Amino acid sequence: MKGWFEYNWQVRDEWFEVCRRLPLKELIEERTGGVGSILKTLFHIVDVEFSWIRAIEGMEDWEPLFEDYEDLDAVKELSDMCRKQLEEILSNADADKEYSVVHVSWHSEPLVYGEVLRHVIAHEIHHIGQLSVWAKELGIKRVSANYIDRGLGQRMLSGNESRVIF
Amino acid sequence: MKGWFEYNWQVRDEWFEVCRRLPLKELIEERTGGVGSILKTLFHIVDVEFSWIRAIEGMEDWEPLFEDYEDLDAVKELSDMCRKQLEEILSNADADKEYSVVHVSWHSEPLVYGEVLRHVIAHEIHHIGQLSVWAKELGIKRVSANYIDRGLGQRMLSGNESRVIF
């Protein structure tokens, strides 16, 4: 699972870089589809990943409010902070944990730990696809969505991904 | 890995259903972003998944041409045919295979089998994100991108996903 998170975080950071060239007006402009603006999308990706993983770890809810993150730097800072905590959480999760049943306050049915990890991974890739349409409309560079050519295959070979989640 | 393919195939089929309500004119209309039209996106997702997995299995290239698939039924039929073959291919791939080095004619560097599987999985989710923006613009239903609530967690528990790829 480690590779998936690395992939999403690499892609996310590349979008932060691209978005740095846009004025705030474009970042907060309401657009068709998704959660409505580029900045809100980046915030939403971070928020969803962090909330779900904290929840399946049995940690207390911590719900950042979009209103508190008013520009790209603030959302990037939130992203970095959350990632640091997630790296620590996931580095302590072994492969057996992936098959454990978990309960989340906002979802009535029980879920499986690895199912939720895949949910947050797919969630980010889906929203990044939406960003790519808006970027094309704006005429700015679109970040590659390729999983290959990011060094992730080499890391699979050198790491021990089959036995630990992160 | 099985769950990821099931996820993508469920979501893809739901998009085929939604798109059935659109006239061909809307399906082939050139749009901003991605590969340019809804029909071309669905075709492209199928083509890329099939080509890559055949290639890493050392099977000969088989490149469908978009021009030969002129409506939704034709692309759906292609999707069903490819999926049937992929199910067979992947059901014979065990977890060790995931770490094997593979060579693909259109990519100069060697890759890792599991890296390519993740590449095609992410590729589809990314393009589906683009479809969701276009669907919103068209005012039609958007298929849920949720990984949860598709029975995939339960299948994790009942299956043996840790040991076989499909």
Q: How far is A134 from chain B (nearest CA, A)?
A: 8
Q: What is the pLDDT of residue A61?
A: 87
Digit-coded pLDDT (tens) for B24-62: 999 999 999 999 999 999 999 999 999 999 999 999 988
- Inter-chain residue contact B118 with A147, CB threshold 8 Å: yes
pLDDT at A164: 57
pLDDT above 80 (res B159): no
Res B96: pLDDT: 81
**Cβ atoms within 10 Å, residue B112:** 22
The residues of chain A scoring below 50 in pLDDT are none
Mean pLDDT on B67-90: 96
Burial per residue of B60-86, b for 16 or more beta-carbon CB atoms within 10 angstroms, e otherwise: eeeebeeeebeebeebbebbeebbeeb
Interface membership of B105 toward A (CB under 8 Å): no
Contact A112 B3 (CB under 8 A): no
Please name the residue that has the structure tokens 């049915």: A109
**What residues contact A117, with CB distance under 8 A and at least 6 apart?**
A1, A4, A53, A98, A165
Determine the residue among B9, B31, B126 to mutate to test chain A binding: the one whose Cβ has the most chain A Cβ atoms within 10 Å.
Answer: B126
Q: Check residue A25 and give its pLDDT.
A: 98
> What amino acid occupies position A88?
E
Q: Does residue B12 surpass a pLDDT of 70?
A: yes
Class of domain A2-158: mainly alpha
Taking only the tens place, the pLDDT of each residue in B90-148 is: 888 777 888 999 999 999 999 999 999 999 999 999 999 999 999 999 999 999 999 99
Is residue A111 within 8 angstroms of chain B, CB to CB? yes
Any CB–CB contact under 8 A between B107 and chain A? yes
- Could you tell me if B83 lies within 8 Å of chain A, comparing CB atoms? no
User: What is the pLDDT, as a whole number, of residue A159?
Assistant: 73
The predicted structure's pLDDT at residue B166: 56
Judged by CB atoms closer than 8 Å, whether chains meet at A111 and B148 is answered as: yes
Rama region for B151: left / alpha / beta (φ>0; ψ in -120 to 50; rest):
left
